[in-house]
C-alpha cells in the first residue's frame, strides 16, 4: 500500500497536511480507504499515518465506516479535533457552544446511521421555538454529519432534507444601535462616569466602527496621533479555554486605515499621556489591556447609567455605519471604512434607517410627486 503525505491550503489560508491510502478490501470486496487531514505539520501527519499502518499490521485497525458512532461520540472524538486545527479560536468556540448547548442534549446519543430527516426536522422545529437565531446552530449540527459523509460512514446527510421553519415570534427588543442623539448621550455618560481607558475605548469604537476584536488587538504603534488615524491589520480571539490569540484580519479588506474625529484623537492623546506617565507604555503595548467580556460589561454599564436600552459593542459598529449612511457617504466609502469585502453586506446588515432619514425620504418622495403632476 502506498502512502503519501500531501500539503494543502484550507479555505482560511492555513497550510495543512493530509494522507490517504487503501487498506485493502472489506468482506464485500469494496476498497477500504483510510483518509485523515487537518494536521498542522508534516511530521504530525507522518506520525498519525504510521500509527494506522501499525494497527493494520497488528490486525487492530477497524475502518471508521464499520464502526457505529453516536453523534456525540463522533463529534467529540473525531470532528472536534479536526475542526480545531482548521479554524480560529473564536469560530471553534462558537461551534462548541452551539453543539454542546443545543444539539447534544437532543441527538447526542443517537447513532449516526439512525439519524433520520424526521429526527433532524424535530430538532430544527424545537430550536425554532426556543431561539430567534437558530439557523446557525443547525448549520453547525449539519457540518458534523457532513464530515461523517465525507469519510463514507454515511451516504447522505439527513439535515440536508429538512425545511427550516420560521422562528417563533419573539418579544420585540430594541434594535442593536443608537440614534445620533442616543449616541451623544451614551458617550457623554461614558466620559463622565468611566475611567479614561474605558471612555477612550468606547469613543474609539463608536467613531471608527471597528470590531471589538480589532480594537483589542491595537497597539500604540498602530495609532498615528499626529495624522489622527488608526491602522487596523489584526484581531484578537479567545479559544475555548479563554486564551487570547492575535490573528490577521479575516480578509484583505479588513486591513485598513481609519481616520478619526478630532474629539477621538484628543481622547487618545490624553489616554496615551496617562499610560506613559503611570505605566511606561511602549509602542508594542496594547491600547486596551482588557478581555472581551469587559468591553461588553462597560457598554452595558454606560447604557444603564445613561438611561438607554442595552446594545452590544458590535451595536456601536451598527450605529457608526448608519450614521455614515445618514451623512450621505457612498456605499463604497462605508465599505472601505468598515473593512467589508462586499459593500452589499454593509447595505443589508449594518445600516438602519433613522427616524429623521425616514421622514426626509418621505418629504423627498412628496416633492418628487408634486413635480411629477
Per-residue model confidence (pLDDT) at position 361: 47
Per-residue model confidence (pLDDT) at position 369: 46
**Which of the residues in the chain have pLDDT under 50?**
1, 353, 361-362, 365, 369, 372-373
C-alpha cell of residue 322: 448608519
Residues 120-138: tens digit of each pLDDT: 999 999 999 888 789 999 9
Per-residue model confidence (pLDDT) at position 135: 92
One CATH from 3.40.47.10, 1.10.150.130, 1.20.1090.10, 1.10.3720.10 for 67-171? 1.10.150.130
Architecture of domain 180-359 in this structure: Orthogonal Bundle (1.10)
pTM for the whole structure: 0.60
Residues 305-355: tens digit of each pLDDT: 999 999 999 999 989 888 888 888 887 888 888 887 766 656 655 555 455
Per-residue model confidence (pLDDT) at position 292: 86
CATH of span 1-65: 3.30.160
Q: Tell me the HSE value of 112 on the side-chain side, using a 13 A CA sphere.
A: 28
Is the Cβ–Cβ distance between 210 and 204 less than 8 Å? yes
Helices (H), 30-78: 42-57, 71-74
Per-residue model confidence (pLDDT) at position 151: 83
Give phi and psi for 124, each to the nearest 5. -65, -40
C-alpha cell of residue 70: 453516536
Query: What element of type H or E holds 277?
Result: helix 262-279
Q: Domain locations in the chain?
A: 1-65, 67-171, 180-359
Distance CA 372, CA 83 (A): 60
Distance CA 222, CA 228 (A): 11
Residue 209 CA to chain centroid, in angstroms?
16
Amino acid at each position: 500500500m502506498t502512502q503519501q503525505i500531501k500539503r494543502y491550503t484550507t479555505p482560511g489560508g492555513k497550510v495543512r497536511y493530509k494522507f490517504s491510502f487503501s487498506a485493502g478490501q472489506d468482506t464485500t470486496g469494496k476498497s477500504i480507504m483510510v483518509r485523515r487531514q487537518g494536521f498542522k505539520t508534516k511530521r504530525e501527519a507522518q506520525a498519525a499515518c504510521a500509527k494506522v499502518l501499525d494497527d493494520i499490521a497488528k490486525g487492530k485497525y477497524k475502518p471508521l465506516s464499520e464502526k457505529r458512532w453516536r453523534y456525540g461520540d463522533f463529534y467529540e472524538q473525531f470532528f472536534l479535533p479536526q475542526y480545531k486545527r482548521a479554524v480560529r479560536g473564536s469560530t471553534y468556540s462558537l461551534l462548541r457552544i452551539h453543539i454542546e448547548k443545543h444539539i447534544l442534549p437532543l441527538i447526542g446519543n443517537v447513532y449516526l446511521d439512525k439519524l433520520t430527516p424526521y429526527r433532524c426536522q424535530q430538532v430544527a422545529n424545537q430550536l425554532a421555538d426556543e431561539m430567534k437565531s437558530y439557523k446557525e446552530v443547525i448549520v453547525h449540527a449539519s457540518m458534523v454529519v457532513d464530515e461523517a459523509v465525507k469519510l463514507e460512514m454515511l451516504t447522505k446527510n439527513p439535515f440536508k432534507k429538512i425545511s427550516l421553519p420560521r422562528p417563533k415570534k419573539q418579544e420585540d427588543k430594541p434594535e442593536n444601535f443608537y440614534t445620533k442623539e442616543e449616541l451623544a448621550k451614551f458617550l457623554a455618560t461614558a466620559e463622565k462616569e468611566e475611567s479614561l481607558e474605558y471612555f477612550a475605548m468606547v469613543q474609539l469604537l463608536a467613531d471608527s466602527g471597528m470590531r471589538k476584536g480589532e480594537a483589542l488587538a491595537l497597539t500604540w504603534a498602530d495609532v498615528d496621533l499626529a495624522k489622527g488615524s488608526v491602522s487596523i491589520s489584526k484581531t484578537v480571539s479567545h479559544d475555548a479555554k479563554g486564551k487570547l490569540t492575535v490573528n490577521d484580519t479575516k480578509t484583505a479588506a479588513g486591513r485598513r486605515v481609519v481616520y478619526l474625529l478630532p474629539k477621538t484623537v484628543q481622547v487618545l492623546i490624553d489616554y496615551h499621556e496617562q499610560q506613559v506617565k503611570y505605566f511606561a507604555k511602549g509602542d508594542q503595548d496594547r491600547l486596551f489591556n482588557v478581555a472581551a467580556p469587559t468591553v461588553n460589561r462597560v457598554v452595558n454599564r454606560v447604557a444603564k447609567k445613561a438611561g438607554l436600552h442595552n446594545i452590544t459593542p458590535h451595536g456601536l459598529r451598527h450605529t457608526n455605519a448608519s450614521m455614515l449612511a445618514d451623512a450621505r457617504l457612498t456605499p463604497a466609502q462605508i465599505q472601505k471604512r468598515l473593512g467589508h469585502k462586499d459593500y452589499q453586506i454593509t447595505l443589508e446588515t449594518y445600516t438602519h434607517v433613522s427616524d429623521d432619514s425616514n421622514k426626509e425620504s418621505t418629504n423627498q418622495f412628496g416633492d418628487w410627486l408634486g413635480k411629477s403632476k
